[in-house]
Amino acid sequence: MGKKNLSLKDIAEKAQVSTALVSYVLNGKEKETRVGQEIAEKIRQIAKDFNYQPNYLAKSLRSGKTYTIGLIIADISNPFFANIARIVEDEAKKNGYTVIIGSSDENAAKSRDLIDVFVNRKVDGFIIVSSEDTEEQVQDLMDKNIPFVLLDRHFPELPTDYVSLNNYKAAYEAATHLLEGGYLKIGFIGYKSRLFHMKERIRGYQEALQNHQIAAEPEWLLEVEFNTLEEIRTGIDNMLEARHRVNALIFGTYRLAISGLKYINELGLKVPDDLAIVSFGQAEAFDLYYCPITYVHQPMADLGKTAVEVLVKKLKGEEGEKKQVMMEAEIITRSSSKAKAAVD
């Protein structure tokens, strides 16, 4: 029993009432019709006995509201995004929204598929951590007037709402922290990427060096393609064999730091005596490392919450103007970047 879905009409017939009345009761609006408690109970019991499933799909076609947010993250297997997803969910829940999540896995085609699937599933709006080369998709959403907020990554040339980090400043400060600690030969390992946040991190590092009259060796900047062990090995080897050997390293993401630290361990280099370390992003591994790692703390909770806030306001029609929020990171200083005087 219960396999075939009963219609409202079937229930009305069984209860010997009108279809409209069944609809009122099952939508919790029986008070508006002053229907007796007994009848309402009877209708609900029949619906339950026959395993009635309200057809929300058809319903949402009519009302146009689903109280669902589509969250597209760049890579679910990256703890930074997974944690941000959890924050977005918790915050959306508080606002009465359910979040459905898709992971584009840093792939533009997959990102487009997901946006299509979610649009077809009638999410009310999107929160998107963009992948590379998805500007056109974002432009499409704007053209179609679909509400969305970009999170963590944005495209400066597109006038979208976004909540992201001042990556330039964070990198500038990370480099300055090392310089002030007496480390004048600083390498940077980032990704070769067209994404703005990564380019900003590299720019911040470079300008900090320039403003401190440090002439960087070409080997000091490594932009890897896929974060393979070979790329990291070769790149770090080059930095250590450069005309001016690096004595400090900034990692552009926590994953690059994990790879790099594994190789640094292999080489038997001591942190910070042989090599001081600062990494973007927080990680459990940084706490358990023999020399706790200094990192650029990204305010994940604030980023996620603010994105939900901005989107929900848009969905409620409360937000007229573009909302572009740029948050500040904080350097969490630990032993891996102890001032040089204290080390030597």
Binding region for a second copy (CB under 8 A): 2-3, 51, 53, 55-58, 60-61, 68, 75-79, 82-83, 85-86, 89-90, 93, 98-103, 105, 110, 113-114, 117-122, 143-145, 258, 261-262, 265, 283-285, 287-290
Toward a second copy, which CB reaches closer, 118 or 172? 118
Q: Is-cis flag, bond preceding 272, omega within 30?
A: yes
- Least distance in angstroms from the C-beta of 76 to a second copy: 5
Return the ∠ at Cα 329 (arms to 128 and 249), rounded to 5°: 105
Shortest reach from residue 53's CB to a second copy, in Å? 8
Residue 142 or 343 having the CB closest to a second copy? 142
The residue (of 20 and 117) whose beta carbon lies closer to a second copy is 117
For a second copy, the closer CB: 102 or 272: 102
| CB nearer to a second copy: pick between 44 and 262 | 262
CB of 101 to a second copy, least distance (A): 4
Nearest to 208 by CA among 244, 249, 181, 178: 178
Nearest distance, CB of residue 59 and a second copy, angstroms = 9
Distances (CA, A) of 163 to 73, 127, 135, 230, 263: 14, 10, 16, 35, 34
- Cα torsion 156, 161, 164, 166: sign: positive
Task: Take residue 41 and report the two structure tokens written for it.
Answer: 């109970």
| Residue 310 three-state SS | helix
CA distances from residue 210 to 172, 173, 196, 213 in whole angstroms, order as listed = 11, 13, 21, 5
Which parts of the chain fold into alpha helices (H)? 8-15, 19-26, 30-33, 37-49, 56-63, 79-94, 108-120, 135-143, 167-180, 196-211, 229-240, 254-267, 284-288, 300-315, 340-343
Tokens standing for residue 159? 């006038």
Smallest distance from the beta carbon of 68 to a second copy, in angstroms? 6
Q: How far is the CB of 62 from a second copy (least distance, A)?
A: 11
Nearer to a second copy, 20 or 57 (CB): 57
Question: Residue 176 CB, nearest distance to a second copy (Å)?
Answer: 27
- Based on CB atoms, which residue is closest to a second copy, 218 or 317? 317
